């Protein structure tokens, strides 16, 4: 199986985190998002251990909530002692409503409004990752008004191509995020931050992209950022205390993807960073990263019920399910590959299908050209694996479809984390 939290009983029933997907479908209805809580916690601990081993107690990973943000997730993150990367008032509010400590939140985003900034300051969010000079000025104004010095990281664009898909590349000079080193603007950004009375500059943030498998991206990033830190020390006499290397480690969606051995990769990056710092005569900063996908992706599975199967002779077969691009837009947006498994049987005789959704749009495809039992039919359960990241968080109400429920699975049982959106919910904001 793709991941060791997926298995099958002898009778063919598919199990996720030891629970029958078909039984959960019966209990909660479909489409349904499942989360393996132990896997989320294991992934957090994997990162925390790696950070502790290589950088000591002060260095902590921030979970990038954009991958999957709801109260139960933030409660788990608080229990695991993770920090949080939040990108909106909505994410911050959700985290605080779950009891997550504001001090451990890093507020990201390239388009923060004055109202966003005021909200985060009033809630005493620990750090801002400041994206651009206008935001820096606005933050300074609001901080001075409140008589405080806000702790910040400056978002620096390192000029590194992560060789991932275009929509998630954020490292090269031409992207909309951060301020580039190679144009000289990043140095000016630092100069301004150091001069502002409402700003306490802690260091730098950078992020090269998402779904990164390229072997030495983070090593190159360490080189570039150490070079920048040394240059800023030499020019302004300023030594950064913190360095955040962003998120981006890739995960396995299909058997063809390489296994992502994050602890080993991270150890290599840590060794390179330490060597770079030593060479530059810089002290070890508080190091952080912001993993999203690699914390929650393999902790997720989506369960659907087949509504109809269409065999178009000499053309193709469609299996149409009761969800679609509304609960998982990633194939439509990026052509993302997924592994699809039948929920109750694995027959000898298989056929090729396109797994399509129920939306009124031909492009509403969850996955093309997958193998399912040839006799797949209405009422069958079909599961899409590795949907924990960027599915629930990117879901929409297109066609006035309610978003699925989210169910947490543990050794002891299953519980609702987010209830299913009803037709009444969909009308709740209409006047
Ligand atoms: N930090 C920053 C500043 C980011 O922009 C992101 C992702 C992360 C951390 C987390 O990256 P991760 O570890 O999850 O790769 N919707 C796309 C992914 C967009 C990623 C946006 N930023 C997808 O479904 O593939």
- The reported pLDDT for the residue numbered 295 is 98
Q: Which structural domains are found in the chain, ordered by start?
A: 6-36+297-427 (2.40.37.10), 108-291 (3.20.20.10)
Q: Render pLDDT for 371-422 as a digit per residue (tens, 0 to 9).
A: 999 999 999 999 999 999 999 999 999 999 999 999 999 999 999 999 999 9
Q: CB neighbours of 4 closer than 8 A, spacing ≥ 6?
A: none
> 68-83 burial string, b = 16+ CB within 10 Å, else e?
bbbbbbbebbbebebb
> How far apart are the CA of 212 and the centre of ligand 1, in A?
10
Residue list, ligand 1 pocket, CB within 6 Å: 64, 66-67, 85, 108, 168, 170, 207, 210, 246-249, 290-294, 330, 334, 390
Read off the pLDDT of residues 290-331 as tens digits, 9 standing for 90 and up: 999 999 999 999 999 999 999 999 999 999 999 999 999 999
Instruction: Name the least confident of 16-20, 95-99, 175-179, 365-369.
Output: 175-179
Q: Look at ligand 1, atom 23, and give the residue with the nearest C-alpha.
A: 390
β-partners of residue 179 are 156
Tell me how far the alpha carbon of residue 258 lies from the centroid of ligand 1, in angstroms. Answer: 19
Q: Whose CA is nearest to atom 9 of ligand 1?
A: 247
Q: Is the pLDDT of residue 334 over 90?
A: yes
Alpha carbon of 428 to those of 236, 303, 305, 423, 424: distances in Å? 54, 27, 27, 9, 6
Ligand 1 atom nearest residue 129's Cα? 3
The pLDDT confidence band at residue 67, using thresholds 50, 70 and 90, is very high
Mean pLDDT, the chain, whole residue set: 96
Catalytic residues: 360
Residues near 83 by beta carbon (within 8 Å), at least 6 away in sequence:
60, 61, 62, 63, 104, 105, 106, 126, 288
Ligand 1 center–CA 361 separation, angstroms: 27
CB count within 10 Å of CB 91 equals 22
DSSP sequence for 223-255: HHHHHHHHHHHHHH----SEEE----B---SST
Task: Find how far residue 282's CA is from the centre of its chain.
Answer: 31
Determine the Cα–Cα distance for residues 245 and 361; give it in Å rounded to an integer: 39
Residue to mutate, 127, 209, 248, ligand 1, most ligand atoms under 8 Å from C-beta:
248
Among protein residues, the one with the nearest Cα to ligand 1's atom 16 is 390
Q: Which of 319, 329, 307 is closest to 30 using CA atoms?
A: 307
The whole-angstrom separation of Cα 355 and Cα 187 is: 50
Q: 209 C-alpha vs ligand 1 centroid, how far in Å?
A: 7
Average pLDDT score over residue span 343-354 = 95
């Amino acid at each position: 199986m793709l991941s060791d939290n997926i298995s099958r009983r002898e009778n063919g029933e598919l199990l996720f985190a030891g629970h029958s997907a078909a039984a959960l479908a019966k209990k909660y209805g479909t489409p349904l998002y499942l989360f393996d809580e132990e896997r989320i916690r294991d992934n957090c601990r994997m990162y925390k251990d790696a950070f502790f081993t290589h950088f000591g107690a002060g260095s902590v990973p921030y979970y990038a909530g954009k991958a999957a943000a709801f109260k139960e997730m933030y409660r788990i993150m608080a229990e695991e002692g993770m920090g949080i990367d939040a990108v909106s008032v909505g994410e911050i509010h959700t985290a605080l409503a779950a009891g997550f400590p504001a001090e451990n939140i890093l507020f990201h985003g390239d388009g923060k409004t004055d109202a966003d900034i005021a909200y985060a300051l009033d809630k005493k969010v620990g750090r801002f990752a400041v994206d651009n000079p206008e935001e820096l000025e606005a933050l300074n104004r609001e901080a001075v008004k409140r008589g405080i010095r806000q702790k910040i990281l400056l978002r620096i664009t390192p000029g590194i191509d992560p060789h991932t898909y275009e929509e998630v590349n954020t490292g090269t000079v031409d992207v909309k995020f951060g301020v580039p080193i190679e144009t000289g603007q990043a140095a000016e950004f630092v100069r301004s931050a150091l001069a502002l009375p409402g700003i306490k500059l802690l260091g730098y943030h950078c992020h090269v992209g998402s779904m990164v498998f390229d072997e030495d991206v983070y090593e190159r990033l360490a080189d570039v950022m150490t070079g920048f830190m040394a240059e800023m020390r030499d020019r302004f006499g300023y030594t950064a205390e913190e360095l955040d290397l962003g998120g981006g480690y890739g995960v396995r969606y299909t058997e063809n993807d390489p296994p992502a051995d994050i602890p080993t990769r991270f150890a290599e990056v840590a060794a390179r960073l330490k060597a770079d710092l030593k060479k530059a005569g810089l002290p070890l900063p508080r190091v952080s990263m912001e993993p999203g996908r690699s914390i929650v992706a393999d902790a997720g599975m989506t369960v659907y019920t087949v509504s109809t199967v269409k065999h178009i002779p000499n053309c193709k077969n469609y299996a149409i399910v009761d969800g679609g691009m509304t609960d998982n837009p990633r194939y439509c947006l990026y052509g993302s590959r997924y592994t699809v498994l039948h929920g109750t049987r694995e027959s000898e005789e298989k056929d090729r299908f396109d797994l399509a959704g129920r939306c009124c749009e031909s492009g509403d495809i969850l996955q093309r050209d997958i193998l399912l039992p040839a006799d797949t039919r209405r009422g069958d359960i079909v599961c899409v694996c590795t949907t924990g990241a960027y599915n629930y968080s990117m879901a929409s109400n297109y066609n006035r479809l309610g978003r699925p429920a989210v169910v947490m699975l543990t050794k002891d049982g299953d519980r609702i984390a987010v209830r299913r959106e009803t037709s009444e919910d969909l009308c709740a904001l209409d006047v």
